[in-house]
């Protein structure tokens, strides 16, 4: 069944070679108990390792059931050891972190035997060697004889054809040694047993055949076999360790090093904690932004502007295809206006808006571009003032919602179009320009009562402009008369924005109700200057010919236009309704050219997106810094796995002796990396989650508006665990490959 034909084995020693076996030829038969004798270094163990497939011969051939092994692949040798060989070693070579039962089952797991059969066969063989009461103990709790019995049980459990025993009694007392030899002799009745020993008395008493070696050559064979050639052939089932077995081996090993494993995982989790906290805070800010958009920013309007100037609203940028191709030495001329969309707001579009479902909006405001002429009287002198000097601005919020965004410091909110308010900034600050324009001395104390009751006047076109030689000119020399006939506006209150109100148009100045513009346009639309300008394309100011756009701008400026708005503000009470409004506008654009389409600007969405982008960028930067520790953790895991490889070198040899492949050894250490990585990830996300509570408490104490700023996302936590696992797998991959390449014979010699 087994034949060695002219086997020689050389080992490299420095620049030369040492021949451990020299032209050895032996033939073995089933039922033999063969003892190989000889002094140390004669080649006994080398012969045993070659027979067991742990080592490779340099010359000759090992024939199994008539099949030559010259063409055996690495996997064939692994299968041979698993199927046909059972090893018993002098030092037992049990895996200390596995139970007796698990040690015995290990060879069966490599054979792919199912769990139920594996357990049954392992228990049966343990009963045979008298250890059924110790099967759940760890090997370290057994005596030397009991550990050797476990090794014999492990060698027998796969029902091999050949048992190889290397000094099986070397570490035992004589009584225990004889018990072990009795057991081995009983086993040899139906198996080939080959035992290496230096005890001649045991060989003579128990062995049916003794072979003596000297300097790698056979010098005596007491019962040589010259039988016919075996031609039955040899085919072994391929071995494979399941990933679950690898996990179990690694998990049990890590359990024996709980403190080191925990410290390693904790150190590895630091990067996870850093990234996790950044993501949780980013997630919390996103939630706050969503809440801000739905609760506070939702009051900001959807704006539809011409986009020509900031006065008519911010420009609407679009993505164009205005790429210019130029040569290597040519200048590319770029017009930024090419990317600014000009909305053509028509009466048709206004009529379309009028048909919109009224349940989706609360108010629609139309701004026609009217720029009123303002006057003020100080020290009995009338003078004109510019709108920007007092920031003369319409409230951007609906009139019935002012209290939701502003608070009254003194006086009252406007009750009619002719009442206005002074908006003050933080700390009740007002620009010196506003104060001086209103006629107050900034060097003296100004009280609320001084401000309330102050009047501002809006000139009527017919009072302010007079016609001379077909041109209209301002009556600057008669401002007293103009003021006397003007529309009187009275400051009735002083207001301040609430803390969570977004400022659009400045944080101080004179603010009026939207309805004032409509009242003033109605007063001026039939004025002489409006009638004159409507009837001609010649400027009523300069006498120059105007284009249609220029004429329209002039009419809007003078308050002569109440049909085509320059800007539309649409207010709604929910994000969902705003979405419906934008979808309604999109339906209007269907089939229209780009120039004719209407592009809206959702201020709430724009502010939210801008803030979200800033938070996202900050999160990326912080995450990048935190991720550095993840890379460091991967390197550290690689070092830890390398240390584990050194510590478990003998285990590597045991797995290989049982038929484990290089891939299986690598899988064991990869599994260890994965366990540490997953543990580090779970530990990291758990600590991250727990840290969100004190972070939220601390932030809320200093800024109540940021309640719940740290909010974990379950998907983020799962992703971090996966990232931790993958990174540690990568970190441990090289040490795992190093473990797989270890020579099994050398690995078994490590103490």
pLDDT digits (tens, 9 = 90+) for 102-150: 999 988 888 878 888 989 999 999 999 999 999 999 999 999 999 999 9
Contact 567, 556 (CB under 8 A): no
Cα four-point dihedral sign 81, 86, 90, 93: positive
* Nearest Cα residue to 37 out of 28, 48, 25, 29: 48
> Which residue from 260, 270, 96, 271 is spatially nearest to 640, judged by alpha carbons?
260
pLDDT of residue 470: 87
The pLDDT value recorded for residue 275 is 83
Q: Pairing mode, if any, of strands 16-28 and 2-13? A: antiparallel
CA distance linking residue 486 with residue 94, whole number of Å: 106
pTM: 0.62
Residues pairing with 212 in the sheet: 37, 220
Q: What pLDDT, on a 0 to 100 scale, did the predictor assign at position 314?
A: 47
- Burial level of 453, CB count in 10 A (0-12/13-18/19+)? exposed
Domains, in order of start, for the chain: 2-239 (3.40.50.300), 255-294+610-749 (no CATH), 308-317+336-604 (no CATH)
- Computed over its alpha carbons, how large is the radius of gyration of the chain? 47
- The answer to whether 396 touches 381, Cβ cutoff 8 Å, is no
Q: How many helices (H) and strands (E) does the chain have?
A: 23, 26
Distances (CA, A) of 632 to 53, 104, 417, 640: 41, 39, 67, 12
- SS3 string, 415-474, reads CCCCEEEEEECHHHCCCHHHHHHCCCCCCCCCCHHHHCCCEEEECCHHHHEEEECCEEEE
Parts of the chain with a pLDDT under 50: 308-315, 317-321
Per-residue pLDDT, 327: 66
Instruction: Please choose, from the candidates 103, 106, 2, 7, the residue with its C-alpha nearest in 3D space to the C-alpha of residue 55.
Output: 7
CA-closest candidate to residue 744, choices 33, 35, 195, 89: 89
Beta bridge partners of 27: 3
Q: What is the pLDDT of residues 36-78, one digit of tens each?
A: 999 988 999 999 999 999 899 999 999 998 899 999 998 889 8
Which pLDDT value is given to residue 114? 85
Predicted local distance difference test score (pLDDT) of residue 58: 94
CA 130 to chain CA mean position, Å: 55
HSE on the CB side for 485, CA within 13 Å? 14
Identify which of 93, 110, 207 has the alpha carbon closest to the alpha carbon of residue 157.
110
Position 231 scores a pLDDT of: 66
- Burial of residue 618, with CB atoms counted within 10 A of its CB: 0-12 exposed, 13-18 middle, 19 or more buried: middle
Cβ atoms of 124 and 158 closer than 8 Å:
no
CA–CA separation, 412 vs 238, rounded Å?
A: 91
């Amino acid at each position: 069944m087994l034949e060695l034909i002219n086997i020689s084995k050389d080992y490299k020693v420095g620049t030369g070679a040492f021949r451990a076996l020299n032209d050895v030829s032996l033939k073995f038969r089933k039922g033999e108990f063969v003892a190989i004798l000889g002094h140390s270094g004669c080649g006994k163990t080398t012969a045993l390792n070659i027979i067991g497939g742990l080592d490779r011969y340099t010359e000759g051939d090992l024939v199994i059931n008539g099949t030559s092994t010259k063409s055996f692949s690495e996997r064939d040798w692994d299968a041979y050891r698993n199927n046909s060989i059972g090893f018993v070693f002098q030092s037992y070579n049990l895996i200390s972190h596995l139970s007796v039962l698990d040690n015995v089952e290990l060879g069966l797991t490599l054979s792919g035997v199912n769990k139920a059969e594996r357990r049954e066969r392992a228990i049966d063989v343990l009963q045979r060697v008298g250890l059924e009461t110790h099967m759940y103990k760890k090997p370290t709790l057994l005596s030397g004889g009991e550990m050797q019995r476990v090794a014999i049980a492990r060698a027998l459990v796969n029902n091999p054809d050949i048992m190889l025993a290397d000094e099986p009694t070397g570490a035992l007392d004589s009584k225990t040694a004889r018990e072990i030899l009795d057991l081995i002799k009983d086993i040899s009745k139906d198996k080939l047993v080959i035992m290496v020993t230096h005890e001649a008395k045991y060989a003579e008493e128990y062995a049916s055949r003794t072979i003596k070696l000297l300097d790698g050559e056979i010098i005596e064979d007491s019962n040589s076999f010259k039988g016919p050639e075996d031609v039955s052939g040899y085919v072994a089932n391929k071995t494979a360790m399941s990933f679950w077995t690898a996990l179990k081996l690694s998990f049990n090993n890590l359990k024996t090093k709980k403190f080191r494993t925990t410290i390693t995982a904790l150190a590895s989790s630091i990067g996870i904690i850093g990234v996790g906290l950044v993501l949780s805070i980013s997630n919390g800010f996103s939630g706050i932004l969503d809440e801000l958009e739905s609760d506070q920013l939702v009051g900001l309007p959807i704006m539809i502007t011409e986009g020509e100037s900031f006065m008519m609203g911010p420009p609407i940028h679009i993505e164009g295809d205005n790429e210019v191709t130029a040569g290597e030495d040519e200048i590319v001329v770029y017009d930024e206006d090419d990317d600014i969309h000009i909305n053509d707001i028509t009466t048709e579009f206004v009529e379309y808006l009028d048909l919109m479902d009224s349940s989706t909006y609360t108010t629609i405001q139309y701004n026609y571009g009217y720029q009123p002429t303002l006057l003020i009287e100080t020290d009995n002198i009338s003078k004109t003032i510019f709108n920007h000097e007092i920031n003369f601005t319409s409230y951007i919020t609906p009139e019935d919602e002012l209290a939701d965004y502003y608070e009254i410091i003194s006086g009252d909110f406007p009750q009619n179009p002719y009442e206005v308010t002074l908006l003050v900034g933080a700390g009740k600050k007002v620009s010196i320009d506003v104060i001086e324009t209103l006629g107050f001395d900034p060097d003296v104390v100004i009280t609320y009562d001084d401000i309330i009751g102050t009047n501002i006047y809006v000139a009527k076109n017919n009072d302010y402009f007079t016609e001379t030689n077909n041109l209209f000119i301002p009556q600057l020399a008669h401002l007293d008369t103009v003021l006397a006939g003007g529309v009187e506006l009275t400051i009735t209150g002083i207001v301040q924005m609430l803390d969570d109100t977004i400022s659009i148009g400045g944080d101080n100045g004179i603010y009026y109700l939207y309805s004032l513009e409509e009242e003033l346009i109605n007063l001026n639309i039939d004025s002489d200057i409006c009638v004159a300008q409507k009837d001609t394309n010649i400027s009523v100011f300069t006498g120059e010919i105007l284009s249609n756009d220029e004429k329209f701008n002039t009419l809007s400026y003078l308050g002569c236009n109440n049909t085509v708005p320059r800007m539309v503000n649409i207010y709604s009470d929910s994000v969902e309704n705003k979405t419906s409004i934008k979808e309604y506008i999109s339906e209007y654009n269907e089939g229209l050219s780009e120039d004719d389409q209407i592009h809206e600007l959702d201020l709430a969405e724009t502010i939210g997106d801008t803030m979200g982008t800033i938070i996202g960028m900050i999160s990326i930067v912080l995450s990048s810094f935190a991720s550095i520790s993840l890379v460091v953790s991967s390197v550290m895991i690689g070092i830890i796995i390398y240390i584990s490889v050194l510590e478990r070198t003998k285990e590597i040899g045991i797995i290989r002796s049982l038929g484990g492949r290089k891939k299986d050894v690598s899988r064991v250490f990869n599994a260890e990396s994965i366990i540490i990585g997953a543990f580090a990830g779970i530990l990291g996300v758990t600590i991250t989650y727990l840290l969100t509570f004190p972070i939220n408490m601390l932030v809320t104490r200093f800024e109540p508006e940021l309640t719940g700023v740290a909010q974990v996302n379950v998907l983020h936590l799962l992703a971090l665990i996966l990232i931790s696992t993958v990174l540690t797998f990568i970190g441990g991959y090289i040490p795992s490959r190093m473990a797989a390449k270890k020579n099994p014979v050398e690995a078994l010699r490590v103490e």
